[in-house]
Structure 1
Amino acid sequence: MTRMQLTTDFFQQTSKIFTVSELTRSIRGTLETKFGAVWVHGEISNYKLHPSGHQYFTLKDQRAQISCVIWRDTMLPPRQPLLDGAQVQVYGTVTVFEARGQYQLNVQILQPRGVGVLQAKFEALKRKLEAEGLFAPERKRPLPKFPRRIGIITSPTGAAIRDMLNVLRRRAPWLQILINPVRVQGTGAAQEIAVAIRELANEAFAPLDLIVVTRGGGSIEDLWEFNEEIVARAIFHSAVPIVVAVGHEIDFTISDFVADLRAPTPSAAAELIVPDIIDLQRRIDGCSRVLARQLLNRVRDAQQRLDHAREILQRCLAHKIDSYKRGLLHISRALQ
């Protein structure tokens, strides 16, 4: 068999002839579908911060290397520039830079090697939302001093709702409370919380003065649903002021930073959002006493002014009468 025959047979067995672009695009699709997002650790080399704000570097170990890029809208440049030789772990998607036919990692999270994955995701989302202005103090709204109707989003069986209701009933028995029950932990809980926020903020319900999003304490894994972006954005877009009370005093979530007010515990939230009826009654009694004293002083002052006016009027009348008498006597004598 001649070489020409071999070549002809080979092409006949090939179903399609790709262009370079088609083959590269197909490889890219396969890589992105197969691997998706991955964690990779290695050593940084050839780091470069481009004037556009994009960051480029190579991640390598003793046997291989991969090109990495951090787009400027994904993660802000670090306060301290990355250095060649630094050991890091990155999270990103595997893709192909088609113009060079080079596969690379589009990095979404970068952290020193050994830092927890959840903590890294927390810091990355915090930086992203802070850059977008979701934490800005000037956008936080003041809470009403005397709310009459509030909504609470939490688990209906948790300790948080029991603690809050006990405090609210004691401090503000006039308060109308609407509870929107949700799961506060596990897959899909973040979606439920976000939907519940939108439902309570919707005008379909009777208007609420404020909304409380709360749950009891737990590990970072237990509280993670309150670190999800979907919850943070639901809080940000709510037309009703929102108080977040998640976990204990030492626990901080992304939702805390977005909320109009962060309460350290569910019970503390209840104390912060409503005045104590006993204190109110004490203040009302004090105001009543002050008002009564001022009213009594005004009445006494008016009586005193009235007495003084009566005396002046009597003297004036007496003087007039004496004057008229003298005039009559003078006329009478003149007539005689």
Structure 2
Amino acid sequence: MTENPYLSVFTLTKYIKRKFEADPYLRNVFVKGELSNVKIHPSGHIYFTLKDDKSRIQSAMFRSAANSLKFKPEEGMNVLITGDVNVFESSGQYQLYVQSMQPDGVGALYLAFEQLKKALAKEGLFDERWKQRLPSLPRRIGVITAQSGAAIRDICSTIQRRYPLAEICLFPAIVQGPQAAPSIVKAISSAESYGSVDVLIIGRGGGSIEDLWAFNEEIVARAIFSCRIPIISAVGHETDTTIADFVADMRAPTPTAAAELAVPSREELFERILDRKRSIYRSFSHQIKHERKRLTTTQQSYPLQFPERLYRPFTEKMANLDDRLLRNKNDITANRKHNHERLDRMLSYYSPLQRIKEESRNMDLLVERMTRSIQSDMCKNQDNFNSIIRMLRALNPLDVMERGFSIVYKEGNVVNSVNSLKVGSTVQVRLPDGTVEADIKSIKMKDKEEDSNEQ
């Protein structure tokens, strides 16, 4: 039985992968091309397509290699790549595994510098509206640089020469190498925490772009932007430019120039004070001359030449007012005296005793008239009352019964006619001294003749 000649896809792919790995020319290849479909994974890996005008190859750069990049790979960028070619088993495709990458035609550091500069400018970190003004007379100067070096010596000597009143506080930092950027950020934080630092100088001496690269790091740029203390950037020589220069509140070409910007010149201050003194003297001299001229003019004025004429109208007016006051006083006194005499006469005429006697007589007359009226009304009311009593007695049925009459009731009602009675009916008869019951045995109607005779 012959052996099965067919291979599985995995076996074939594995064989091809071993062939790639065994080829020494594919282990360390140098390729240049254009980046396309660049995808930076959150894990830090970078996936892209490397192409030219005739072909393309899938590429990957893992995080361990990508962390060493100084720039950010972008679409359409021409790059120089070192890596190895192998087969990705899952898809069966060969791809380029990148170990290093640099821009084609421009340095990696320069490209990284331009990329970060563009990004921060777009965010507005370079805008003039965020720049803080430097204090005119600072009391404490903070310096962030290497603890030993030409930069700190130049800054200290310049400040001591120009403005010895200022206190210098050094916040040492590493200014070169991989640890430089975190060290500078920490020094900025220490300066803010220290308190009472009026202005801060950040810088170092000259060097290559690699030596100055810490001042191009994004963390340093953001720390400078966020600092509440005005910052002067003094990195390298006059021709050197860093990201820190753009973010800082002011840029100085050298550390010495930064010290000159941070503090005023003692000679300039003296000259400024002398100028101010001369200006004040001239101003006061001019003011004194002006006021002296005004005084002379005032002294020669008409009112001061003849001061009595100035208050003469007021004297005459006061004399007139005194006369009017005296006349008014006499008139008021005479009127008051006349009124007093009139009231005195009225009081003597309308004496209280006299009024009391008159009112007493009037009251007696009123009492007498009231008594007569009451007695007359009582007599009339008594006669009317007696007349009504006699009338009531005449109409009282009890008085009629006293003369031999009685009243017949049936079931509580007065019997006015024999027609309302029947033989056998029971009636009540009311007598003056009581009531009796009686039964009707016979009823006799009254004759009409008798009625006519009675009439």
State the TM-score, normalizing by the size of structure 2: 0.50
How far apart, in 2, do the equivalents of 1:258 and 1:100 lie? 48
- The answer to whether residue 104 in structure 2 is matched with residue 145 in structure 1 is no
- 1:126 equivalent in structure 2: 117
Match for residue 112 of structure 1 among 104, 107, 111: 104
- 1:33 equivalent in structure 2: none
- 1:43 equivalent in structure 2: 33
Return closer, same or farther for 1:218/1:110 CA change in 2, 3 Å cut-off.
closer
Return closer, same or farther for 1:105/1:316 CA change in 2, 3 Å cut-off.
farther
Match for residue 203 of structure 2 among 203, 209, 214: 214
Return closer, same or farther for 1:76/1:288 CA change in 2, 3 Å cut-off.
farther
Q: Which has the higher contact order (CA 8 A, sep 6+)?
A: 1
**Secondary structure at 1:269 match in 2:** helix
Instruction: Find the structure with the greater CA-based Rg.
Output: 2
Return closer, same or farther for 1:296/1:48 CA change in 2, 3 Å cut-off.
same
Identical counterparts, % of pairs: 40
State the 1:256 CA deviation: 1.3
**Secondary structure at 1:181 match in 2:** coil
Unpaired runs of 5+ in structure 1? 4-38, 323-336
Deviations 1:119-143 (A, max 9, x none): 2332333333333332233322222
Contact in 1 for aligned 2:192/2:228 (Cα 8 Å): yes
How far apart, in 2, do the equivalents of 1:77 and 1:48 lie? 9
The residue correspondences of 1:218-297 to structure 2 (distance < 5 A) are 218-297=207-286
Return closer, same or farther for 1:90/1:240 CA change in 2, 3 Å cut-off.
farther
Return closer, same or farther for 1:134/1:302 CA change in 2, 3 Å cut-off.
closer
**Secondary structure at 2:290 match in 1:** helix
Return closer, same or farther for 1:291/1:318 CA change in 2, 3 Å cut-off.
same
- 1:65 equivalent in structure 2: 57
How far apart, in 2, do the equivalents of 1:150 and 1:40 lie? 52
The residue correspondences of 1:292-331 to structure 2 (distance < 5 A) are 292-312=281-301, 313-317=303-307
Contact in 2 for aligned 1:109/1:124 (Cα 8 Å): no
Return closer, same or farther for 1:295/1:314 CA change in 2, 3 Å cut-off.
same
Unpaired runs of 5+ in structure 2? 4-28, 40-46, 62-70, 313-455
How far apart, in 2, do the equivalents of 1:226 and 1:314 lie? 78
State the TM-score, normalizing by the size of structure 1: 0.65
- The answer to whether residue 146 in structure 2 is matched with residue 155 in structure 1 is yes
- 1:88 equivalent in structure 2: 79
**Secondary structure at 2:174 match in 1:** coil
Structure 1 stretch displaced more, 161-170 or 60-69: 60-69
Contact in 1 for aligned 2:142/2:171 (Cα 8 Å): yes
* RMSD, aligned CA: 4.2
State the 1:111 CA deviation: 2.6
State the 1:162 CA deviation: 1.2
State the 1:279 CA deviation: 1.2
Aligned length: 268
Letter in 2 for 1:316: F
